[in-house]
DNA sequence: CAGGATCCGATCGGATACTG
DNA sequence: CAGTATCCGATCGGATCCTG
């Protein structure tokens, strides 16, 4: 019975890879943009820790655990360019830089809250599955 | 003046990499779990497209644009294991499989809505920055 | 049609070293 | 302290081929 699938495959293989119909809808809309923004583990984590108030660079690093300075400064720069956080650098010895959420950034709190509600409701005692490739030691 | 920084560096380098204080808080809490779940671009996109109703495998592929079957089935399997979508397979010729959100999955709609509100509010006319490494052609 | 298996290039991100 | 630059291994995900 292989020929059934085979023939269909051959007949339909002509024009299948060309049409990219809703792809731009997935990436060009504000929602798509937002999804790609939050499609990064660190972004939300950073915003979450910034919600209570301003924080310094290394304080963030400590709170976030094992993030590298490269990754952190990357994300912070990105968030700053988007206007979601503000960077205040004090030219002192030793240097001090504080990051805090702008009004726009604060509104991400709503998303985080929704996320938290959801997490508490459905992900409480669950163990990671194939969705969570987290290999962190839980000592 | 290099010696200032240098000496401080040497003095503080002893115990800095050991303490992983809030790392387990970032990953073991429901919120952390949720963040890691949504820390994947596709997950939210899939859920979004599934909100209106059940959908078949290739329909999803078409809607999502350029996702590969491997990635899609991966995500679907993960979501199914978490209990957020249900997979109904009809053993016919040709095969038909429909995916739909469970009640738990529906509640992700709230998160998506929050995200959409935010996106429409702050990301409308914005161009991607370093936060969005999207290299998709916008033909 | 709905996937699984495999290959492999691109990307991400951690570790390290260095600077002001 | 607050980063930047570089290296490099691990991972992701797309392309391709294959099956029922």
> Which bases of chain D are contacted by protein, using any atom under 7 A from a CB?
1-6, 11-17, 19-20
Q: Which residue is nearest to nucleotide D5 (CA to C1')?
A: A70
Whether B31 contacts A119, CB under 8 Å? yes
pLDDT digits (tens, 9 = 90+) for B112-138: 899 888 888 887 765 444 333 333 333
Buried b (16+ CB within 10 A) or exposed e, B104-114: bbebbbebbeb
Residue A52 corresponds to which tokens in the numbers above?
Answer: 């209570």
Beta bridge partners of B99: B55, B87
pLDDT digits (tens, 9 = 90+) for B50-106: 999 999 999 999 988 879 999 999 999 999 998 999 999 999 989 999 999 999 999
Placement of tokens 């053993």 in the chain: B91
A95 C-beta less than 7 Å away from strand C:
yes
In order of their start, the domains of chain A are: 30-119 (1.10.10.10)
Question: How would you list the strands of the sheet with B85-90, edge to edge?
Answer: B55-56, B96-101, B85-90
pLDDT digits (tens, 9 = 90+) for B3-59: 555 555 445 444 444 333 344 455 667 777 888 888 888 898 899 999 999 999 999
Beta bridge partners of A96: A90
Collect all residues with Cβ–Cβ distance below 8 Å to B137 and sequence separation of at least 6. none
Question: For residue B100, which phi and psi values (nearest 5 degrees)?
Answer: -145, 155
A85 to chain B, minimum CA–CA distance in Å?
13
- Substitution target in B132, B133, B136, B138 with the highest count of A β-carbons within 10 Å is B132
Residue B10 corresponds to which tokens in the numbers above?
Answer: 């040497």
Cis peptide before A22 (omega within 30 of 0): no
CB pairs under 8 A between A and B: 201
By C1' distance from the Cα of A75, the closest nucleotide is C13
Placement of tokens 């709230």 in the chain: B110
Can you give the pLDDT at residue B56? 96
Q: Which residue of B has its CA nearest to A81?
A: B129
Asked if A111 lies within 8 A of B114 by C-beta distance, the reply is yes
With CA atoms as reference, report the closest residue to A79 among A52, A106, A58, A61.
A106
Q: Is the pLDDT of residue A6 over 70?
A: no
Residue A114 corresponds to which tokens in the numbers above?
Answer: 């929704």
Task: For A75-135, give the DSSP string.
Answer: HHHHHHHHTSEEEEEE--SS-EEEEEE-HHHHTHHHHHHHHHHHHHHHSSSPPP-TT----
Asked if A114 lies within 8 A of B111 by C-beta distance, the reply is yes
Question: How would you list the strands of the sheet with A55-56, edge to edge?
Answer: A55-56, A96-101, A85-90
* Nearest CB partner across the interface for B39, out of A31, A39, A107: A39
pLDDT digits (tens, 9 = 90+) for A64-122: 887 999 999 999 999 999 899 999 999 998 999 999 999 999 999 999 899 888 888 88
Which is more confidently placed, A42 or A13?
A42
Q: Which residue is nearest to nucleotide C6 (CA to C1')?
A: B70
Residue A119 corresponds to which tokens in the numbers above?
Answer: 């997490």
| Torsion, Cα of B29, B49, B103, A47 (10° steps) | 20
> Which bases of chain C are contacted by protein, using any atom under 7 A from a CB?
1-6, 11-17, 19-20
Taking the C-alpha atoms of residue A66 and residue B54, their distance in angstroms, rounded to an integer, is: 40
With CA atoms as reference, report the closest residue to A39 among A56, A26, A54, A53.
A26
């Amino acid at each position: 019975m292989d020929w059934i699938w085979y023939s269909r495959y051959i007949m339909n293989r002509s024009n299948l890879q060309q049409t990219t119909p809703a792809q731009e809808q997935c990436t060009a809309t504000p929602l798509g943009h937002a999804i790609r923004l939050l499609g990064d583990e660190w972004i939300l984590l950073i915003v979450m820790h910034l919600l209570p108030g301003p924080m310094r660079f290394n304080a963030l690093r400590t709170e976030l655990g094992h993030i590298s300075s490269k990754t952190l400064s990357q994300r912070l720069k990105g968030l700053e360019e988007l206007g979601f956080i503000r960077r205040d650098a004090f030219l002192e010895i030793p240097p001090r830089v504080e990051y805090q959420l702008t009004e726009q950034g604060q509104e991400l709190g709503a998303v985080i809250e929704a996320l938290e509600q959801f997490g508490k409701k459905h992900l409480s005692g669950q163990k990671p599955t194939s969705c969570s490739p987290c290999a962190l030691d839980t000592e």
